[in-house]
Amino acid sequence: MTYKKTLMAMVCLTAVTTGCGTEDIPPGNQGFLFDRTGAMAFYTGGSGIVRDSVLGPGTHYTGLYDEIRDVNCKDENAKEAIDVLTQSDLTVKVDLRITYSADCTSPESLNKIIDQVMSSNDRTVEPANLYTRYILPIIRESLRNRLASVTIEQVKNVRQELRDGIIKDLNDGIKVRGNPILIKILTVSDIKLPIEIVEKNRQIELARQEAEQEQEKQKASKFRLERELFEAQEDRKVKREEAEKTKEVAEINAERDKSVTIKNSEAKLEAKKREAEGIKEVRAQLTTDYLRYLSILKDNEVRLEMARSMAKGTKWYVGPEFIIPPGTEGTVAIQR
């Protein structure tokens, strides 16, 4: 009975110690076994970190009391905004973007990290722990040194130069100190000016925009005036051409009217001349006998008319030279 109890106790103890004697190293991590002493190790003592054997990702046997110390070796991205004083005694905020990782290329680098960097959970050294320990102090010092000689007016134009300088300072500092850290990417995403400078620049920009708008208005006004002047000149040109045409037409009409008047006058003069010549010719043809014949003929016509009117009761008065029908204003000459 005692043997059976002892056997069962050993089986249970083996199950317990086996279940509690392993730890996992996640993908992307590397580490070491930390050998320590304690009651369950029967106080035999421990050797600490077992530095000659690097443990990769996976499940590792630790026993009941030993444990794992590991390092996260994956790439990590960090954003940092650092206030820096410039030569102008004004503070700017430099925004950085950094990609980095622990240097896990050798056991020596891993040992340095385990020895120098305190982990957040007393087991795994995370990238944030490395960033605070190795990167941030060098970046702060680099920014202070490089912007101390830069004025606030120049700071916006030195972004690329500042980025190159920070990378150089980081690589040099890491090399000199032997820091087990790798810098993959570093960019200066922005350099933010102080609020008073931003406001001043905003006012300057507003003034510039207003000046440009005023300049555009002046250009538009000048263009409008030039267009109106051109249109007025063209209008005057058209009116002048119309006036010249009207004058030319009037001169032509006047010349034509003058020519017609002259021709009409000449025609009237010619007609009067011909009429005078005709009268002269007719008079030249009237002989004394012909005139006497016409007088007798006219006298007979008058006498005939008198006889007809007297037959109807009309009375005639005979003067020395004329026979006048009563009640009339007309006269009839009778050759005696």
Q: Which domains does the chain have, with CATH numbers?
A: 2-72 (no CATH), 76-193 (3.30.479.30), 288-333 (no CATH)
Q: 38-52 pLDDT, tens per residue?
A: 554 444 455 677 787
Q: What pLDDT, on a 0 to 100 scale, did the predictor assign at position 295? A: 80
Q: 209-265 pLDDT, tens per residue?
A: 889 898 999 888 888 888 888 988 888 889 888 888 888 888 888 888 888 888 888
Does residue 315 register a pLDDT over 70? no
Does residue 313 register a pLDDT over 80? no
pLDDT tier for residue 334 given thresholds of 50, 70 and 90: very low
The one-character DSSP state at 119 is: -
Cα gap 143→165, rounded to integer Å: 9
Q: What pLDDT, on a 0 to 100 scale, did the predictor assign at position 278? A: 78
Strand duo 322-324 + 332-333: pairing: antiparallel
Strand duo 67-72 + 124-125: pairing: parallel
Q: 250-267 pLDDT, tens per residue?
A: 888 888 888 888 888 888
* Residue 127 · residue 133 · CB < 8 Å: no
Cα gap 281→181, rounded to integer Å: 148
User: Which residue has 């009067």 as its token pair?
Assistant: 272
Q: What pLDDT, on a 0 to 100 scale, did the predictor assign at position 11? A: 40
Mean pLDDT of the chain: 81
